[in-house]
Amino acid sequence: DSGVTQTPKHLITATGQRVTLRCSPRSGDLSVYWYQQSLDQGLQFLIQYYNGEERAKGNILERFSAQQFPDLHSELNLSSLELGDSALYFCASSVDGATNEKLFFGSGTQLSVL
Amino acid sequence: ILNVEQSPQSLHVQEGDSTNFTCSFPSSNFYALHWYRWETAKSPEALFVMTLNGDEKKKGRISATLNTKEGYSYLYIKGSQPEDSATYLCALPLTSGTYKYIFGTGTRLKVLA
């Protein structure tokens, strides 16, 4: 158990809908990262937060947004969903985001858009 | 854009065999390299973080080396066991101070009993 909690584990929804994925980092970790894993693709970096502030952004679509709350949990909002958004979404955390820190991953949310 | 390449894409070995695979990256602007193991139906788990040229790390039967000047890292597994079956990912931060870890597509290892 990595100590990173993601909910829900599975999500099935329809095109055009909006969903929210939730992540609670390990106790004491200030940095949260979101990754997308699609079929035949590697882990794609979406966005990173540190202590409530956005730190870095990857190829995150404009339909997607995220935030980190004062209690350090993070939510990834996906709107106007398309079939191509179906993927496994991972959250990871680290203490303060230094490059020599290991990332601890949650178990992921499997999103299926029908 | 940082390009992280891993080879081979997949590998089948017999139990007891030793094996190794490669992570290649641009040698300029190196800060750190991470290795992760990703077992099916689980989440990626960190194995090593390597920061210095010539670094060697070991965890049980798994070890890794790093050559930042030529831009590669090797992961070795000695005496492979079925429980070593997993995808092995390497990742590098894009630049120091940012946290866009770029992951390779991984090497899928299957150890046959």
Residues B89-112: tens digit of each pLDDT: 999 987 655 667 889 999 999 999
* Residue numbers of A between 59 and 88 with CB closer than 8 Å to B: none
The answer to whether residue B99 neighbours chain A at the CB level (below 8 Å) is yes
Contact call for B34 and A103, based on CB within 8 A: yes
In this predicted model, what pLDDT tens digit does every residue of B71-81 receive, in sequence order? 999 999 999 99
pLDDT of residue B41: 87
E strands of chain A, at which residues? 5-7, 10-13, 19-24, 31-37, 43-50, 53-57, 64-68, 74-78, 87-94, 104-105, 109-113
Of the candidates A25, A20, A77, A76, the residue with the CA atom closest to the CA atom of residue A51:
A25
Note the pLDDT of residue B95.
Answer: 66
- Say if the Cβ atoms of A43 and B32 lie within 8 Å: no
What is the residue-averaged pLDDT of chain A? Answer: 94
Contacts of B102 in chain A (CB under 8 A): 45
Place of tokens 């990834």: A76
**What mean pLDDT, rounded, does chain B reach?**
91
Percent residues over pLDDT 70 in chain A: 100
